[in-house]
Amino acid sequence: MKFGEQLRTSVIREYQWYYIDYDGLKAQLKTETTPSAGGGKGKRAEWNTENEEEFITTLYLELEKVHTKQRVKANEIGRRIAASEREVTEVVGRLDNQGPVTAEGHSDAPTEEEFMLLEEDLSDIIADVHDLAKFVQLNYTGFQKIIKKHDKQTGWHLKPAFATQLKAKPFFTDNYDADIVKLSKLYDIVRTRGNPVKGDSAAGGSQASFIRNTTKYWVHPDNITELKLIILKHLPVLVFNAGKEFDKQDSAITSIYYDNPETWELYEGRLKKSEGAEAIRLRWYGGMETETIFVERKTHREDWTGEKSVKARFAMKEKNVNAYMKGELLPPAIFEKARKDGKKPEKVIAEDERLAKEVQYSVLRKGYVPVCRSFYNRTAFQLPADARVRISLDTELTMVREDNLDGRKRSGNNWRRMDIGIDWPFSQLPSEDVERFPYAVLEVKLQTQSGQEAPAWVRELISSHLVEAVPKFSKFIHGTATLFPTRINLLPFWMPQMDVDIRKPITHHFGIRRPGQSANSSTSDDDQDDESDDEDGHDFGHASQESTVRDDNSEETVRHLLEARNELEQQDLRRRAQMSTGNTLDDEEQIANRPLTDAYVIYESDDEEGPNDLEEARRVGGWPYYSSLLKHEARVVGNATAKFVKKLVARPDVAMDDAIQNRLGQTVTEQRFKAPKGKKIHVPVRVEPKVYFAAERTFLGWLEFSIYIGTIAVTLLNFDAKLNSMSFIAAGAFTVVAVASLLYSVAIYLYRAQAIRERKAIQYHDTWGPSLCGDIVDQATRTWTNININTIPPFEIATPRTTNDDKPGRHDKSTKMSASDDLINFDIIEAQKENIQAIPSGRSARALANLFSASPLQPLATPNPSDTKTVNDAVRADFEAELALLAESDDPLDIYDRYVRWTMDAYPSAQATPQSQLLPLLEAATKAFLSSPQYKNDPRYLKLWLSYIRFFSDSPRETYAFLSRHGVGDGLALFYEEFAAWLETAGRWTQAEEVYNMGMEREARPAPRLLRKYNEFQQRFAAQPDESRAPSSPALPTVRPALAAKIDPYASAAAPPVDPQAPRPNSGVGGSQTTRNGRPKLAVFSDADEPAPVVGGSGAKGWDSIGSLAERRKENVVEATPWVGETMKAGAKKSTAPKMAVFKDQD
* 475 annotated active-site: yes
Residue that wins the pLDDT comparison between 540 and 953: 953
Model pLDDT, residue 295: 94
CA nearest 697: which of 739, 743, 768, 753?
753
Task: Residue count of the chain, please give it.
Answer: 1147
Fold of 210-487: mRNA Triphosphatase Cet1; Chain A (3.20.100)
Residue that wins the pLDDT comparison between 58 and 452: 58
Name the strand (E) or helix (H) holding 490.
Answer: strand 490-492
pLDDT per residue as tens digits for the range 365-418: 999 999 999 999 988 888 876 777 889 999 999 999 999 888 888 888 899 998
Name the strand (E) or helix (H) holding 317.
Answer: strand 310-317
Model confidence at 1117: pLDDT above 80: no
Mean pLDDT, residues 59-71: 88
Largest CA distance in the chain: 187
C-alpha dist (Å) from residue 831 to 810, 811, 826, 905:
12, 12, 9, 17
How many CA atoms lie less than 13 Å away from 8 in the CB half-sphere? 13
User: For residue 1106, what is the DSSP state?
Assistant: -
Q: Which of 160-174, 676-690, 729-743, 802-816 has the lowest mean pLDDT?
A: 802-816
CB 279 within 8 A of CB 257: yes
Close Cβ partners of 222 (under 8 Å, ≥ 6 residues apart): 137, 503
CA nearest 283: which of 103, 405, 415, 150?
415
Model pLDDT, residue 258: 94
Residue that wins the pLDDT comparison between 270 and 30: 270
Crossing angle of helices 112-154 and 177-191, in 10° steps, is 160
Phi, psi (deg, nearest 5) at residue 216: -125, 150
Q: How confident is the model at residue 1114 (pLDDT cuts 50, 70, 90)?
A: low
Model pLDDT, residue 864: 59
Give domain limits for the chain. 1-99+108-196+510-547, 210-487, 556-578+596-682, 689-789, 964-1054+1090-1106
Please, what sign has the CA dihedral across residues 147, 153, 154, 160? Answer: positive
What is the rounded distance in angstroms from the CA atom of residue 204 to the CA atom of residue 207?
Answer: 5
> Residues 448, 278, 200, CA angle at the centre, nearest 5°?
45
Model pLDDT, residue 401: 92
Mean pLDDT, residues 980-1008: 90
Model pLDDT, residue 257: 94
- Based on its alpha-carbon atoms, the radius of gyration of the chain, rounded to whole angstroms, reads 50
Model confidence at 1034: pLDDT above 80: no
How many other C-beta atoms lie within 10 A of the C-beta of residue 670? Answer: 11
pLDDT per residue as tens digits for the range 609-630: 455 555 666 666 666 667 777 7
Could you confirm whether domain 964-1054+1090-1106 is CATH 1.25.40? yes
Active-site hit among 69, 73, 145, 475? 475
Model pLDDT, residue 904: 84
CB 192 within 8 A of CB 236: no
